[in-house]
């Protein structure tokens, strides 16, 4: 059994009357790469700051390996942070920046210097040890911030959108590097991002947050393939939401009626109810066929070329639009605009969502 590194119980954070976090309960495992994902203003950074100790919590509990840390100030928590804008000390060179935490922990100069050498090697900055932050590129500053936070060997490392200030190419390289460093050091990483691709590619598990509430916690695959509600389905990847009438939900299976009156059975999320509901179907799981063979019928209304893929938008009779992803490299028949087509998807590809 793995240990729980961070255990958050029914945490609520209020700013005056504004609810930043509502009743959040979350367990982050030892040695896990855990991502807090959500749109800006959703509360993910607030959650991270409560773990770091920069914000106190209004209600609830927060434990680090079983120890209650809710009342500890940040300098008493064995947790380090990589800040969004890095927050490197501008008057200290790279070595002194990295050494800062070690000296505060009471290490002697020689021990601290040895450790600085180690972490600078880990982030490949050995040759920049004497530079001031202002003399480094954005990517290098980001590594210094990482080295500085890793140096004291924290129990948990918090990363607050550390890649958002980097350009795309660099971001992709650093993603891999971060994963590698997490493997090598075995430190629990809690990573905050609003970028779903970042979250999907790096994390062991992801918590999706919106409006200060946890929406879903799970692996990348679980969240992508079995989103629990409309928000998660729409925020992670692209999806089609088809309005249906639900006649029955039991044991995770739903029976519903498609807009054209066809009955359809598919898996349902927890909390899905009878009545009006939404069916989520990813664009790549929809296929086009002749109108007679399709579950749904519609008119091709738009084509969007995306390089390797193509999106065909099909407008159903009730004006709902369903997007179909077609590989452009194949000799697929791409319907001309105005052509009537049938749409098919398997029961396993669709999912009835909770609202």
Partner 1 sequence: MAGALTTSKASNNSTYAGLGNLLMLPSWLIIGFFLVLPVGMMLIYSFLTKEFRGGIIWEFSLAAYDQFFFDRGLFGDDPAKIEWTYIKIFWRSIWQAAVATFFCLIIGFPTAWFIATRTGNSRSIWLFLITIPYWVNLLIRTISMKFLIRDTGPMNEFLISTGIISDPIHIINTNFAVQLGLFYSYLPFMVLPIYASVERYNFSLSEAAADLYASRLTILQKIILPTVKPGIIAGCILVFVPSLGAFLAPDLLGGAKNFMIGSLIEEQFKGNAGNWPFGAAVSMILLSMVLIVLTYYARQQSKEGRR
54-57 contacts, C-beta under 8 A, 24 or more apart: 55/13, 57/11, 57/12, 57/13
Q: Which stretch binds partner 1 (CB under 8 A): 9-17, 34-42, 51-59, 116-124?
A: 51-59
74 binds partner 1 (CB under 8 A): yes
Q: Which residues contact 53 (CB under 8 A, 6 or more apart)?
A: 69, 72, 73, 74, 76, 77, 79
> Which of 93, 98, 56, 97 minimizes the C-alpha distance to 74?
56
Q: Which of 2, 17, 40, 90 binds partner 1 (CB under 8 A)?
A: 90
Closer CB to partner 1, residue 80 or residue 269?
80
Write out the binding residues for partner 1, residues 92-151 only, by CB under 8 A: 100-101, 104-105, 132, 148-149
Q: Which of 75, 250, 319, 331 binds partner 1 (CB under 8 A)?
A: 75
Q: Smallest distance, Å, CB 57 to partner 1?
A: 17
Half-sphere exposure of 215 (CA within 13 A, CB side): 30
Q: Smallest distance, Å, CB 234 to partner 1?
A: 32
106-115 contacts, C-beta under 8 A, 24 or more apart: 115/151
Q: Which of 11, 112, 119, 152 binds partner 1 (CB under 8 A)?
A: 152
Q: Smallest distance, Å, CB 112 to partner 1?
A: 12
15 binds partner 1 (CB under 8 A): no
> Which of 323, 277, 331, 279 minimizes the C-alpha distance to 301?
323
Residues facing residue 160 across a β-bridge: 192
Q: Which of 12, 23, 61, 83 binds partner 1 (CB under 8 A)?
A: 83
Helical spans, DSSP H, in the chain: 44-52, 94-104, 109-122, 138-150, 168-185, 196-202, 220-225, 230-235
Closer CB to partner 1, residue 45 or residue 215?
45
Q: Which residue is associated with the tokens 């399709």? A: 294
Q: Smallest distance, Å, CB 145 to partner 1?
A: 8
Contacts with partner 1, residue ranges (CB under 8 A): 52-54, 73-76, 79-81, 83, 85, 87-91, 100-101, 104-105, 132, 148-149, 152
């Amino acid at each position: 059994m793995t240990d729980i590194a961070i255990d958050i119980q029914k945490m609520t954070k209020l700013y005056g009357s504004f609810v930043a976090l509502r009743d959040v309960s979350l367990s982050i495992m030892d040695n896990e790469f855990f991502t807090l994902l959500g749109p800006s203003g959703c509360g993910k950074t607030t959650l991270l700051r409560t773990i770091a100790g920069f914000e106190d919590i209004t209600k609830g509990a927060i434990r680090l390996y079983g120890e209650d840390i809710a009342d500890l100030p940040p300098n008493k928590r064995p947790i380090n942070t990589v800040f969004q804008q890095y927050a490197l000390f501008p008057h200290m060179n790279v070595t002194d920046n990295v050494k800062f935490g070690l000296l505060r922990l009471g290490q002697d100069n020689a021990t601290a210097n040895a450790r600085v050498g180690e972490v600078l090697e880990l982030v490949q900055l050995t040759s920049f040890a004497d530079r001031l932050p202002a003399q480094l590129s954005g990517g290098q500053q980001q590594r210094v911030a990482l080295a500085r936070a890793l140096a004291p060997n924290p129990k948990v490392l918090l990363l607050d959108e550390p890649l958002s200030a980097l350009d795309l190419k660099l971001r992709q390289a650093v993603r891999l590097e971060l994963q590698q460093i997490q493997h090598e050091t075995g430190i629990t990483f809690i990573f905050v991002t609003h970028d779903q691709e970042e979250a999907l590619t790096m994390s062991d598990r992801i918590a999706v947050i919106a409006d200060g509430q946890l929406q879903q916690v799970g692996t990348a695959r679980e969240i992508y393939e079995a989103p629990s509600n409309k928000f998660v389905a729409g925020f992670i990847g692209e999806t089609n939401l088809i309005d249906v009438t639900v006649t029955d939900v039991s044991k995770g299976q739903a029976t519903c009626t498609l807009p054209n009156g066809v009955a359809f059975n598919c898996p349902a999320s927890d909390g899905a109810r009878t009545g009006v509901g939404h069916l989520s179907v990813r664009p790549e799981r929809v296929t086009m066929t002749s109108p007679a063979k399709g579950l749904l019928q519609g008119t091709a209304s738009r084509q969007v070329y995306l390089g390797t893929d193509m999106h065909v938008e099909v407008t159903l009779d009730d004006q709902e639009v369903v997007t179909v992803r077609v590989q452009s490299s194949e000799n697929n028949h791409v319907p001309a605009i105005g052509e009537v087509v049938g749409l098919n998807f398997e029961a396993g590809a669709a999912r009835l969502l909770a609202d």
